[in-house]
Structure formats: structure tokens, C-alpha cells
Structure 1
Amino acid sequence: MARLLAPIALAGAALGLAATPAQALTQFAGYYAPANWTQIQGNGSIDTSSAPNSVTLTSADGGVASATQDTDFTITAPSAGTVSFNWSYSTSDIDPTYDPFAYLLNGAFTQLTDDLGALIQAGSTSFAVGTGDVFGFRQYSTDSMGGAGITTISSFNGPTAAPGPADVPGPLPLLGIAAAFGWSRRLRKRMASSSSLKAHYPTKSQPGLESES
């Protein structure tokens, strides 16, 4: 029985290896390493020195309103999935209205900070993306003066790239499965044939083992 189960176990292991799913990337590493993002600092700044754990965006505060008041950090989604992250915001302006923080999805601005909220805010956010979508974060300034808005993004997760050739079952696992099942089938036929022979030719008694009358 053990010999019969061995090839089945081998086949199951091969199937398990072939079916291992891709896992979401964690934090700003791998595909999501800071160097792979498009950075538009404008008159603000983007600090990636704490990556892969976190990235910090600071809004413009140069005292001159201009078209470069967007501080953007964006990337293209390699596959469909969910983007999730934590954010922690603070501003030295008189209120958050002038320096809102948002996430971007194909250019659409979804504000996360509360204009009527405290000068220090935080939250957790998630949203869906499709393959090829451009998403990211924006620390905006409406006036580029009075104090900057600063947001740190952490616990970032994003969808992984679509499976490549290395993730697709190759000929070796498939051949191993076929060989294992073929061997198992031959073994069962041999066992069945052996049982048939024993039934047709019963074992003779050994001399001296017959009971005396």
C-alpha cells in the first residue's frame, strides 16, 4: 500500500508546486521600490529614505502659488487587485483645507484628509485597480504658503505582476505527474494479476504440517 501511495503523494506535491498563487507585494519593495515610481515633487518634496517601510510626501510651501503645487508619487499597476495602505498626516498651516492629502487613480483625486478636521489626522485606505491603471498619492497645496502638509504612507500593499514563465507549470512537473500515475497503474495491475494467480493455484501444504489422524 505504501508503494502505491508514494506516486500519488509525488503527483500531489507536483500539482501543489504548479498551482502556487502569486502573493501581494508588501511595502515599497520589489516592483514597488521607490525608484520605479514617477515622482513629481513640484515645490514640495518626497522622502523615500525610510523605504521599504514608508514614504513621506511634503506639500509646497514656498510662498509662491504656481502650477507645481502637486507633489505626486505614482506607478502603473502590473495587474488587477487591491491597493491598501495606512496614512498619517499633519500640517503647520491654520487648518487642513490648504494642504489636503489624496490618492490618485488614473488622474482622479480622492481626498482622504478632512478639511474641517484636526491638524493631525490618520487612517487606513484601500481601493481596487485594474491592469495598467496609474495610481499613487498626492500631497497638494492650494496656496503654497502658511505651512506645509506632510503625509507618511506605510503598510503599503499592491497587486503583483501577472504570472510569468517561471510561474507557469513547465514540462518537468507535468511529466512527473504522468510518470507517477503510470507507475501506479502498472503496480495495481501487477497486484491484481498476483491475486488472480493465487486464487487459481492455491498454496500446497508443507510436508509435516498436516494434522495426524
Structure 2
Amino acid sequence: MARSSRYHSPYDADDLDWDLRIMGLVLLSLFLSLVFLLTREIIAEFAEKPEFQISNLAVSNLTVSRDLALTGNWEANFLVANPNKNLPLKLQGIRAYIYYHNKHTKISQRISLGQPVEVPARQERVIRISRMRVEQPDDVIVDEIHKRMNENSAVIFGLRLAMEASFRVIGTDLKFWCSSDCMRLRVELEGVWPPYAEAFIDGDGKKCLTSLVKKFWGGGEETSGGGT
């Protein structure tokens, strides 16, 4: 009875060893990617949101015409703080809105600030907003503002900032939409001619309520310390 024999190539063991090495590298790469993603998500989860504080709000040349057209030049200064220890912050596409009494009666807006505001970790920057475009609210609102102007009365305004923000986390950007509401800002109207008003804010400023919505990851350039 003939005995069967099998030929073993001297390269079989080397090929198997090479395949195992490739598989090991693939598994190691997947493991490191998973660790990177988990680390990034954990850092993002515990990132502290930026803090906004309005330090000045003023309006000059506030007038109401006979046909109840409202005009004026608004200016506001914000202090934005980045409380995070190792995460640079960038704010861009900043839009500002002035409201009368509440969030539903918009009377002025600044569409966008062209220059991004970059806030290094544990630092502060000032956002300056000026030349805001006046929108026309209902005639009832304009008439009420005009009445208070004639009486040299205080008027309550609100101001909202809306923007895209991002934290730099391990070489990538954690982006989110950010809004900051500063309500109940008491503005004292001083005379009708020339009309002028400025905000009276207790202490060094008034903190604003900040909310973050719709976080998403995206690539980005390296941020550098700076500001406007």
C-alpha cells in the first residue's frame, strides 16, 4: 500500500508569521483609534462652556420720526472667558441682536463680526459690537419707546449673541452652536435732543445665560492666541 506524502514549502511558516503580524498591526491600529476617540469624547464631555459678561451697552442718536421709524446707533462690549485648562476656544460668525423687554421683539441686529475671536485656555477676550442695524418693530413698541424717551424714563432691553464656537481637542475641533442671552438690561434715556442712552449695570458687569447646542466634530486649522 502506497504511503501518501505531502510537500511542505519552506515559505509556509514565514507567510503565516507575516499574516499574523499584519493582523496584529491592524488590531493595534483599531485599538489605538478607539482609545483616541474615547479620550476625545471624554474630554469633550467635560469641557466647560465659555462665560459671557456684558460690560457696556449704549445707544446714541436714538430717534423716532413722525411716521414711527426708529433709528439709533447701538454699541456693546462683552467679556468672554474660557474656563478650560487646556482647550483653546474660537468664536466665529458672531451675530448680535437687541430686544425690547424680551426675546420676541427684535429692534436691532448686527449680522456678523468678520474677525473670529480666539480665546486661549484660562484667558479672557473682549468682543466689541458697534454699528448695529436697526430693524422696525411694531408701531406699538416704537410708540412706547418714544413715550419713555419723552419722559426720560428707563427702558429694559435684552441682548443676544449667537455664534459658532469650537474647542481644539487633540488636533481636531469640537464645534457647537452657542448663544448667550443678557436680559433685563436697564437703559436710562437722557433727553430727547440730542437723544442719548446708556446702560446702568450693577457692579463690574452682568453675566449672561449661555447655552450650547448641536455639538459636532470637524477638522480645523491650529488656533493661535489672539483676539479682537
Give the TM-score taking structure 1 as reference length: 0.29
Structure number with higher helix proportion: 1
Structure number with higher strand proportion: 2
Greater Rg over alpha carbons, structure: 1
Give the TM-score taking structure 2 as reference length: 0.28
Higher relative contact order (CA 8 A, sep 6+): 1
